[in-house]
Amino acid sequence: MNSKEEIDSVEIIKNIGIIPVINIPNPTLAEPLAKALSDGNLPLIEVTLRNDSALESIKRIKEAYPDMLVGAGTVLSCEQVEQALEAGAEYIVTPGFNPKVVKKCLDSNVPVIPGCVTPAEIEAGREMGLRIFKFFPSEQLGGVKTIKELCGPYRDISFVATSGITIQNIPSYLASEHVAAVGGSCMAPAELIQDEKWQEITSLSRAAVRAALGYKLMHVGVNGASAAESETNARRFSEIFDMSYKKGNRSDFAGTAVEFCKVPFPGEKGHIAIGVLSVERAIADLNRRGISFREDMRTLDAKGRLVAIYLEEEIGGFAVHLIKYE
């Protein structure tokens, strides 16, 4: 359970936050589908074993795109585990909790995400060393609300929620600390695959990734020379635009979008706060695009979770930092 391969696979899934869960009807569609997903910033896929050619699709994707993380889903037997691994699958997802299948995966040193939706199943999985489970069918079982209740007594687990996932409800799932990722086909509906609408799949994939990250402007901080200047500016801004004035220890706010800093903050002129659903997921996204961060400017909450961090780069004299929002 602690192999490098497993840690990498699970971290990729968590860092991206979305697993395309796809029933590929024909292996000839596998490679262009993989390219469409990758072009849409989704370099991973779960190919469900729901037809006789699924294993061939896994093989073709892995051969054509070796850097893509490829998993096998709807795995129901130990024999299917062996077949999926031989085809090139790097992780296994099962709809329910079958101890024999889970043990086979663990003995084969391959990550497994079994479906566990009851306390009894969760405890059986935890006994085998598992901490990430599939929550299926998610929407039908109450979604985030049920997941939160299950994680009350089991605080060290998280879920990959599948079934009923849409681009619109992705943020509500990934805002939860109990959801490691979501899975579904909203970025690659069956009809688009069948009609080979690859550009549309790429566009939907990008939209799904944007939903998972949730980037939005939270506030702009303006550096000031003194506490008196900060208060004067914040009050004046509030007065002009009929915003509430809020006095703070290190800065004053006009509404929630403009911060006037009393003491030196990073940035020559000030800072810009960008809200995200998960700071870790945003860091992974930006790292892939060559953006680096100031490790000395990390902020943790009372539970030790990362809630803010500054980019190394300044833009127009403004420092930029990520901040988690709910």
pLDDT in tens, 314-324: 999 999 999 99
Active site residue 229: no
Which one of the listed residues 46, 104, 259, 262 is annotated catalytic?
46
CATH 3.10.20.30 fits 4-213, yes or no: no
Percentage of the chain beyond pLDDT 90 is: 96
Which one of the listed residues 104, 134, 262, 324 is annotated catalytic?
134
φ, ψ of residue 242 to 5 degrees: the values are 55, 50
Superfamily the domain 216-324 falls into? 2,3-Dihydroxybiphenyl 1,2-Dioxygenase, domain 1 (3.10.180.10)
φ, ψ of residue 321 to 5 degrees: the values are -130, 150
Residue 2 pLDDT greater than 60, yes or no: no
Whether residue 151 contacts residue 157, with contact meaning beta carbons closer than 8 Å, is answered with yes
pLDDT in tens, 180-236: 999 999 999 999 999 999 999 999 999 999 999 999 999 999 999 999 999 999 999
Whether residue 321 contacts residue 294, with contact meaning beta carbons closer than 8 Å, is answered with no
pLDDT in tens, 138-166: 999 999 999 999 999 999 999 999 999 99
Each residue of 258-271: b (16+ CB within 10 Å) or e? Answer: bbbbbeebbbeebb
In the chain, where the domains are located: 4-213, 216-324
Active site residue 6: no
Which pTM does this prediction carry? 0.91
- Distance between CA atoms of residues 146 and 57, nearest Å: 34
